[in-house]
Amino acid sequence: MKMVAGNWKMNKTLQEGVALATELKEAVKNPNCAVVIGTPFIHLATVAELLKDSPIAVAAENCADKEKGAYTGEVSAAMVRSTGAEYCILGHSERRAYYHEDYAILREKTQLALANGLKVIFCIGEVKEEREAGKQNEVVKAQLEGSVFNLTAEEWKNVVLAYEPVWAIGTGLTATPEQAQEIHAYIRGLVAQRYGQEVADATTILYGGSCNEKNAAELFACPDIDGGLIGGAALVAEKFLAIIAAR
């Protein structure tokens, strides 16, 4: 499946988010790919209601690693699902780096999200030093083995991968199409080893990291890049719409 997904991160008040979602709803009627927007938790119910008759699906940017109970301030996967959101972004490099989400925590979150009927957009990717040391393949392999390759083939159907080199996120540095294609092909090969070639061919693998309206078409032309996970450019309707049109 081809897909363009936005990740608003910690941007937009509720009113600003509703305004952006309304603009997108009016423009996206019959897209040639799946379209998802990831919003802050507190916007989910309103934005999901607004988009309920639209082809645009809504994603949370995180969920708790516990089912329910005395975890003040946390938001469970069941709560996310109850808003009408269909997806949950997990494993984003900002969550890994700033909130210390390790392989085991992400394994729990993924299990809970899937068990509660959410689809997961699972992010992987190396930091600059790892790329410079030529270790990007071993890094993404360890991230997959550590958190999601425990899933059954049935569960895997609801997983989308997003390769996001950390050195390209929000930096204006984009992986070249060749760099991105090379590692996407490697990732698809790992999925094939674990789940078989047919499943690997059906797996959606997004590229993320300073993907914008100018470079999207070139990246999306690569055979193993099924779409994009978009940060900064997802905050401006005309940029996000241009990226959707490029897919």
Instruction: Give the nearest distance from C-beta 228 to ligand PEP in angstroms.
Output: 8
Distance CA 59, CA 57 (A): 7
Asked if 39 is part of the footprint of ligand PEP (rule: CB under 6 A), the reply reads no
What DSSP state is assigned to residue 88? E
Give the one residue of 50, 229, 243, 244 binding ligand PEP; rule: CB under 6 A: 229
Asked if 213 is part of the footprint of ligand PEP (rule: CB under 6 A), the reply reads no
Residue 154 is a catalytic residue: no
Instruction: Give the nearest distance from C-beta 94 to ligand PEP in angstroms.
Output: 7
Give the count of residues interacting with ligand PEP (CB under 6 A).
13
Query: How many Cβ atoms from other residues are within 10 Å of residue 104's Cβ?
Result: 11
Closer Cβ to ligand PEP, 56 or 211, answer by number:
211
Instruction: Give the nearest distance from C-beta 5 to ligand PEP in angstroms.
Output: 9
Asked if 204 is part of the footprint of ligand PEP (rule: CB under 6 A), the reply reads no
For residue 149, give the nearest of 184, 97, 200 by alpha carbon.
200
Distance CA 151, CA 63 (A): 18
Give the one residue of 203, 232, 241, 243 binding ligand PEP; rule: CB under 6 A: 232
For residue 146, give the nearest of 168, 122, 181 by alpha carbon.
122
Instruction: Give the nearest distance from C-beta 169 to ligand PEP in angstroms.
Output: 4
Find tokens 């199409």 and name the residue: 177
Asked if 175 is part of the footprint of ligand PEP (rule: CB under 6 A), the reply reads no
Residue 164 is a catalytic residue: yes
Segment holding 5, helix H or strand E: strand 3-7
- Concatenate the DSSP letters of all residues of 178-213 into one string: HHHHHHHHHHHHHHHHHH-HHHHHH--EEEESS--T
Give the one residue of 231, 240, 241, 247 binding ligand PEP; rule: CB under 6 A: 231
Q: Which one from 92, 101, 130, 184 is the annotated catalytic residue?
A: 92
- Concatenate the DSSP letters of all residues of 134-182 into one string: T-HHHHHHHHHHHHTTTS-HHHHTTEEEEE--GGGTTTS----HHHHHH
Asked if 7 is part of the footprint of ligand PEP (rule: CB under 6 A), the reply reads yes
Give the one residue of 1, 13, 42, 170 binding ligand PEP; rule: CB under 6 A: 170
Query: How many Cβ atoms from other residues are within 10 Å of residue 134's Cβ?
Result: 9
Find tokens 């975890």 and name the residue: 71
Asked if 209 is part of the footprint of ligand PEP (rule: CB under 6 A), the reply reads yes
Give the one residue of 17, 125, 208, 227 binding ligand PEP; rule: CB under 6 A: 208
Asked if 243 is part of the footprint of ligand PEP (rule: CB under 6 A), the reply reads no
* Positions in the binding site for ligand PEP (CB under 6 A): 7, 164, 169-170, 208-211, 229-233
Q: Would you please indicate which residues are annotated as catalytic (active-site) residues?
A: 92, 164
